[in-house]
Structure 1
């Protein structure tokens, strides 16, 4: 009797089998569909992994090595990889102002060079919120009105990110405050669409004419064009959101089936 008692005291009861939906909770939690949204990797840095020695030195901010490679005859300051990305692109994308200053001050540097996505170093700096790199590039003659293959200039990227200091710096260099995106949105309407209320107020204080952009005028032709472009952009975002929801539901069902099996 005593032996049975001691045996029961040292016996660990086996855990009960959990329900399938309980196990599914922990599985989906890792995918981010049943918990708070996970931080996504910055899209503007995807693929910006340098291959060549020159680009690698610029991406890590090694000023001494970049200067030595510039002076060497085997490398050129505008040397690009297979995707058209120069060392200045890498320095701007990875936020290294000292390397940007060194490369921009070189007379042979093409400061407005585009990569395979149509992005200039200034656009990459705007995507990174690097006000210091942007200031250096603008001082050395970077064109703030150049657009990428998506039809967005550095100003549009800064507005979407809600970066008022960057927008203020671009306005100092006569950026077009009425430049439209691919979907026909002006910076003011883009700020409204992105729900950037502080940016909206800032643009109004710096010359954006809210009344003329939102009120039909001159026979209604401009109003019709504005309404169509806004609807086009809204439909695009609705379609993208629908795709995301469909993918999430599909992933949920796949995990559920695998867990049941």
Structure 2
């Protein structure tokens, strides 16, 4: 009887493949993997998964638990994970303005702390298009001039995202409209590179210097490459 089971198993067993991940193919066919919608990871959120209890509470917007951890002295408010990401970073990345507001109301919070990529909570909130978090941070004194380790300030990230609302908030709090990256690229020039014409026009209206006298149009990208 056992021999018959083994024969049947061999009959329907998928061919053995040389690499472990190719052996997932029969399993996917059997469970309809290709009929499901593929999970889309949000830009700048890939790898931003909390590993500690405090960071996890902040990432899901659990204000009460965050308060319990901090007020009970179980964790320091600026405690970070191995990538130097604090609870404030996680709250900003996952768009929980209620957690952000509570954290920045504490005098001990380092609002401009940088993670291992040089991202402040303000930069992280800007990368994620989290307008309310950006607003709270700026009102509480977040510095819009700090650059990450790639040389980009929050305004550069707002331009890349094409988020005029956040760009306007940053300029309201005196962000340098002509700040240059380590490669000498200003927000205006970055907008042209990315064909963000509305953003480029917005920056011009707010005082950005037009490089080489260029105005935003559909040919600007090619002029910049020459």
TM-score bin, normalised by smaller chain: 0.7 to 0.9
What residue is the counterpart of 2:201 in the other structure?
201
Give, in whole Å, the separation in 1 of the partners of 2:183 and 2:160. Answer: 14
Count of residue pairs brought into register by the alignment: 181
What residue is the counterpart of 1:145 in the other structure?
145
Displaced runs of 4+ in structure 1, greater than 4 A?
A: none
Q: Once superposed, what is the RMSD of the aligned Cα atoms?
A: 1.9
Report Cα offsets for 1:205-254 as digits up to 9, x if no partner.
111122xx2149xxxxxxxxxxxxx66xx9xxxxxxxxxxxxxxxxxxxx
TM-score (normalizing by structure 2): 0.76
Residues 170-181 of structure 1 correspond to what in structure 2 (within 5 A)?
Answer: 170-181=170-181
TM-score (normalizing by structure 1): 0.66
Distance 1:40 1:150, change over 3 A: farther
Report Cα offsets for 1:39-82 as digits up to 9, x if no partner.
96334112111111100000000011111111012211001011
Is 1:109 aligned with 2:109? yes
What residue is the counterpart of 1:126 in the other structure?
126
SS, match of residue 195 in structure 1: coil
Does the CA-based 8 Å contact 2:114-2:120 persist in structure 1? Answer: yes
What residue is the counterpart of 2:182 in the other structure?
182
Unaligned runs of 5+ in 2: 1-37, 215-223
Larger radius of gyration: 1
SS, match of residue 190 in structure 1: helix
What residue is the counterpart of 1:214 in the other structure?
212
Report Cα offsets for 1:173-202 as digits up to 9, x if no partner.
000001011221111111111100100110
What residue is the counterpart of 2:5 in the other structure?
none
What residue is the counterpart of 2:54 in the other structure?
54
What residue is the counterpart of 1:82 in the other structure?
82
Report Cα offsets for 1:118-138 as digits up to 9, x if no partner.
100000000110110001001
Report Cα offsets for 1:85-144 as digits up to 9, x if no partner.
000000000000000000011000000000011100000000110110001001111000
Does the CA-based 8 Å contact 2:101-2:136 persist in structure 1? Answer: yes
Give, in whole Å, the separation in 1 of the partners of 2:69 and 2:102. Answer: 12
Give, in whole Å, the separation in 2 of the partners of 1:152 and 1:209. Answer: 18
SS, match of residue 85 in structure 1: coil
Q: Which structure has more RCO (C-alpha within 8 Å, separation ≥ 6)? A: 1
- The structure with more helix, counted as a fraction of residues: 1
Give, in whole Å, the separation in 2 of the partners of 1:59 and 1:69. Answer: 14
